[in-house]
Amino acid sequence: MSPEVEPRDLGDVGEGLLMRRAAADDVPALIDLHRETHGEARSTADEHQLRDLLERPHPTFSGTEMTVVEEVATGRIVSSQHFSHHRWAYGGVEFPVGEIEHVSTRVDYRRRGLIRRQTDVMHDWSAAAGELATVVNGIPWYYTQFGYELPLDKHNGRRLFREYAQTVPAEQAPYALREATPDDLDFIEQTFQSGAPRLRVSYLRTRDHWEYELLKRDPRNAWARRLFILTSPTRPVGFISIHPLTLAIDAFEVAPATPWSLATGSLARWLLEHAEGALGLEVSERPSWSFGWLGEDHPAFSSCPHLFGQFETLGSPLRRGAWYVRIPDVPAFVAHIAPALEERLAQSNEAGYHGALRIGRYREPGVELQFDHGRVTVEPWRQTGIHEGDARFADATFLELLFGRAGLPQLEAQFPYRIGVSARARPVLHALFPPAPSYLLPLY
């Protein structure tokens, strides 16, 4: 369990306010909070999500790591958020991650520091759990004031339009779809993880995660998903996760030796002809389906570019955005993922590089990378002069390079006065940190 949170008087930010852990009997008051902050429609879906978190076993949430700020005189909850635990992977190297979600404050209690107080508690919980990162899937800008940056793309996929799906001939759609059953859970876990090698950062979903999605989550939960299996006449060849609330395909993977073009064509025809009946939703008049969760470089888009329209935009339900990421100890994180750097270097033009590179981050701790016949070791290093080191990255630019959101030339063009790289360091940084897609499907 996370460190105790003793009920804490917050009189310095508002008279009669108490911060404490949430409990199951807080659900009605939490629903009232969310009704004010998110609106009636959202609060109905939130009610079932909160009940799932607080009243049922959950794969990523302990049942106790939710804070509330209570108005003592009335018992009204005026602010709340919760904390969950995940496993992500960087180039195949696993690392523990904590995530803050369900952040909500009543309008008349905003700008008093209530979120900061609760976030500090959750950062303590994350440190106690040994997590190397904390993340937030949140609204624009807000979490940068708490030490978060935006180095990982979120959504940025495309839309599949009905008129395009109508052009798919039968021979390009040979696979059928059926609803998943418990017998499919091992296949779903293995197939989902088979997509990880193409990604810089991926989410590690276990069989328990998929079992929760299929059997244990309340279908009225805002994050409820429907899982379907793509099949040939002899075997399963892929799986699809659909988020009914937004009519979004948020996971799509195929088994080895399955052509992506045929899988994508089959899915397109199924969405056109059978999705309405299978989902029990009126979707026949919708002009398009969102594939926004899948990111910009999903194989479905490159295998069937003729089926997909524009990238997701600010006007879509899943707008283009990014994950908030906080790495409290960047040198420790880079040391942890050193095996991924070794593998990337070995497969590059700089294989066998020998020497050391010092990467500065001005006021923030940087790293010294030491290369010895394929081994990469990492030590903390802090620059003391503005031109010291082999490379220098101001603000969040190093995290954008590290997480593959952009390559070195793109970052230098975008931030010409925030990055300085020596000729010696340039080819090695190219080799270690090429741009690469990431895909993260959270479990709430």
What is the DSSP annotation of 115-138? HHHHHHHHHHHHHHTT-SEEEE--
What is the DSSP annotation of 244-273? TTTTEEEEEEE-TT--HHHHHHHHHHHHHH
Cα angle for residues 254, 236, 257 (degrees, 5° grid): 45
Letter string b/e over residues 83-93, b meaning 16 or more CB atoms within 10 A of that residue's CB? bbbbbbbbbee
Is residue 439 assigned to a domain?
no
Q: Mean pLDDT across the stretch 244-270?
A: 94
- Distance, CA of 410 to CA of 201 (rounded, Å): 20
Residue 29 to residues 41, 51, 74, 81, 221: CA-CA distances in angstroms?
17, 12, 11, 13, 18
Task: Supply 308's token pair.
Answer: 């997909």
Greater pLDDT, 35 or 205? 205
Whether 423 and 382 share a structural domain: yes
Q: Mean pLDDT across the stretch 268-290?
A: 84
Residue 315 has pLDDT above 60, yes or no: no
- List residues bridging with 371 in a β-sheet: 355, 376
pLDDT given at position 183 = 98
Task: Supply 221's token pair.
Answer: 């939960």
Residue 43 has pLDDT above 70, yes or no: no
Is residue 320 assigned to a domain?
no
Whether 302 and 164 share a structural domain: yes
Is residue 273 assigned to a domain?
yes
pLDDT given at position 286 = 74
Beta strand 93-105 pairing with 133-136: parallel
Residue 209 has pLDDT above 90, yes or no: yes
- Contacts of residue 270, Cβ cutoff 8 Å, sequence gap at least 6: 173, 176, 177
Is residue 223 assigned to a domain?
yes
Whether 59 and 143 share a structural domain: yes
Whether 373 and 399 share a structural domain: yes
Say how many CA atoms lie within 13 Å of 296 toward its Cβ. 17
Q: What pLDDT digit, counting tens, does each position of 367-419 carry?
A: 999 999 889 999 999 999 999 999 999 999 999 999 999 999 999 999 989 99
pLDDT given at position 314 = 40
pLDDT given at position 4 = 62
Task: Please state which of the ranges 98-112, 125-139, 155-169, 383-397 shows the lowest mean pLDDT.
Answer: 155-169
Greater pLDDT, 335 or 34? 335
Among residues 98, 124, 147, the one where a domain terminates is 147
Give the count of beta carbons closer than 10 Å to the beta carbon of residue 294. Answer: 27
Residue 419 to residues 187, 224, 332, 384, 395: CA-CA distances in angstroms?
45, 43, 22, 16, 10
Q: Mean pLDDT across the stretch 60-77?
A: 93
Q: Mean pLDDT across the stretch 233-249?
A: 92
Whether 295 and 335 share a structural domain: no
Whether 99 and 212 share a structural domain: no
- Distance, CA of 80 to CA of 104 (rounded, Å): 6
pLDDT tier at 310, thresholds 50, 70, 90: low
pLDDT given at position 323 = 95
Is residue 1 assigned to a domain?
no
Task: Please state which of the ranges 8-12, 37-41, 215-219, 427-431 shows the lowest mean pLDDT.
Answer: 37-41
Q: What pLDDT digit, counting tens, does each position of 135-145 carry?
A: 999 888 899 99
Q: Which domain range does residue 137 map to?
A: 8-147
Which of these, 378, 333, 376, lies nearest to 359 by C-alpha position? 378
- Contacts of residue 15, Cβ cutoff 8 Å, sequence gap at least 6: none
pLDDT given at position 312 = 56
Q: How many domains does the chain have?
A: 3
Is residue 262 assigned to a domain?
yes
Whether 253 and 395 share a structural domain: no
CATH of residue 21's domain is: 3.40.630.30
pLDDT tier at 172, thresholds 50, 70, 90: very high
Residue 318 has pLDDT above 60, yes or no: no
Among residues 120, 147, 174, the one where a domain terminates is 147
Whether 191 and 303 share a structural domain: yes
pLDDT tier at 263, thresholds 50, 70, 90: very high
- Contacts of residue 319, Cβ cutoff 8 Å, sequence gap at least 6: 155, 292, 312, 313
Is residue 137 assigned to a domain?
yes
CATH of residue 390's domain is: 3.30.1050
Whether 245 and 268 share a structural domain: yes
When mean pLDDT is compared over 11-15, 270-274, 331-335, the highest value belongs to 331-335
Tell me the angle at which helices 40-55 and 27-38 cross, rounded to the nearest 10 degrees: 150
Whether 204 and 124 share a structural domain: no
Is residue 437 assigned to a domain?
no
What is the DSSP annotation of 332-396? HHHHHTHHHHHHHHHTSTTTT--EEEEEEETTEEEEEEEEETTEEEEEEE---STT-SSEEE-TT
pLDDT given at position 41 = 56
pLDDT given at position 355 = 95
pLDDT given at position 378 = 98
Whether 89 and 162 share a structural domain: no
pLDDT tier at 42, thresholds 50, 70, 90: low
Q: Mean pLDDT across the stretch 352-363?
A: 96
Whether 36 and 61 share a structural domain: yes
